Chain A
Amino acid sequence: MIICLLAEGFLPDFQAVVKSKYKPSATVLMVEVNKWAFILSFLYSLTTGHLYPMTIFLKDHFQLLIDVILIGVLSALGQLVIYRLVKIFKQHIVPFIITTRKIFTVGLSIIYYEHNIALIQLVGLVIVFGVSIYEFISEIKEDGLTQSDKHIELP
């Protein structure tokens, strides 16, 4: 879990470095990251000896293969939007948006399926939404200030 959290923590920062130094388009960054992730996971699969049994398993369970391909296609579409967000906002805003979306989905599911919800959980929801909205507003204000500073500096 520590490795997972660390890797997840470093990824937005690595992407921010690339974004600020090389200014790639959202899809160029997406392709580059996915290319390397594919190469590394393929090497992992090869070195652990998973590749062959995995291929046989997928051949024997065709429905699973269809499902995994569908997940891949949907994920590709989702990533197009995520990398657009990475391109537009600072590195910490994307996890904020993702978390808010998750909590929003949970909230909708609670309302739609009439799940039980404790009052303290509502407090949790309000905290997450409140902090996210506050952060967005302060980012927009900061951006506005930076833009006006740049405007003043112009001769």
Chain B
Amino acid sequence: MQTFDYPEAQLLFVTSITWLVGYVYNLTRYSSEERSCIPWFNGFKCGSAVTLSTIAYSYAIYFTNFPLVMMIRSCGILSVVMVGVLFTGVEDTTLKLGRRKILIAMIATAGIIIFKVFDLNKSDSHKST
């Protein structure tokens, strides 16, 4: 049986359709100045983070298994807050995250992990992809 082993396929469709829909919407609502207010390098950084995370996620599922990936991905909140607190490039003080947020993210992550580790509905069929 043929398999569809292209991790970027969904991303290609999702991003192209969203780009197209959003572009048409912006054409009708914003001036060309408003539409091009983001410098290309900032857009590139955001776009590469999306591409990298989606492709890495697909490969992670391919090489390990779905429950394990979902479990590790549950720590997403923690990684967002850690980056936001420790490596932030945000200069606006109202948008900066304080260290207290790490504790909050750790508690939320613990809650998600507890929920997933003790899942009674896990079947053996879910252990591999």
Contact = CB atoms under 8 A, between A and B. Distances in A.
Interface of A: 1, 3-25, 27-42, 44-45, 48, 50, 53-54, 57-58, 61, 64, 68-69, 71-73, 75-76, 79-80, 90-92, 95-96, 99, 103, 106, 115-118, 120-121, 123-128, 131-132, 134-135, 146
Given A44-B8, A99-B77, A10 B83 contact: yes
Given A7-B53, A28-B35, A14 B73 contact: no
Nearest to B113: A124
B111 A127 contact: yes
Contacts of B45: 10, 14
A47 B55 CA distance: 14
B101 A50 contact: no
Contacts of B94: 146
Contacts of B74: 99
In the A-B complex, list the 7 residue pairs whose CB atoms are closest, starting with the nearest. Answer: A36-B47, A127-B111, A124-B115, A9-B79, A124-B114, A7-B53, A72-B17
Q: Is the interface of B mostly helix, strand, loop or mixed?
A: helix
22 contacts: A7-B53, A9-B80, A11-B49, A11-B53, A13-B87, A14-B49, A20-B92, A23-B37, A25-B30, A25-B34, A31-B19, A35-B19, A35-B47, A36-B46, A36-B51, A41-B15, A44-B51, A54-B6, A99-B108, A127-B111, A131-B104, A135-B104
Among B2, B21, B29, B92, max chain A CB count under 10 A is at: B21
